[in-house]
Amino acid sequence: MFSKRHNLKKAGEWAIVTGATDGIGKAYAQELARDGLNIMLISRNMEKLESVAKEIQDAHNVKTKVVQCDFTQVGCVPKTL
């Protein structure tokens, strides 16, 4: 999926993926985790977030964090991001 896989960790140990519970976002999160990056998953549905986080942790032995956020809602972005 990535042409320069060996360079991914140069940017840091964590990747942030939005729309991470379905489709391209989920696939992207899985690929990044496969390359050893820890993943912060952001999406609207907490149940799906927790499920995908567990799936990624179990499959790739990386850390995950989840953030429930709907970017269409004003003020949803946590200040910690």
- Does 77 fall in a domain? no
Q: What is the pLDDT of residues 21-33, one digit of tens each?
A: 999 999 999 999 9
Contacts of 66 (CB under 8 A, 6+ apart): 40, 41, 42, 46, 49, 50, 53
Cβ(67)–Cβ(61) below 8 Å: no
CATH number at residue 19: 3.40.50.720
Is the pLDDT assigned to residue 2 strictly greater than 70? Answer: no
- Does 57 fall in a domain? yes
Q: What is the pLDDT of residues 10-61, one digit of tens each?
A: 678 999 999 999 999 999 999 999 999 999 999 999 999 999 999 999 999 9
Domain span including residue 46: 13-68
Check the CA dihedral 68-50-41-45 and report its sign: negative
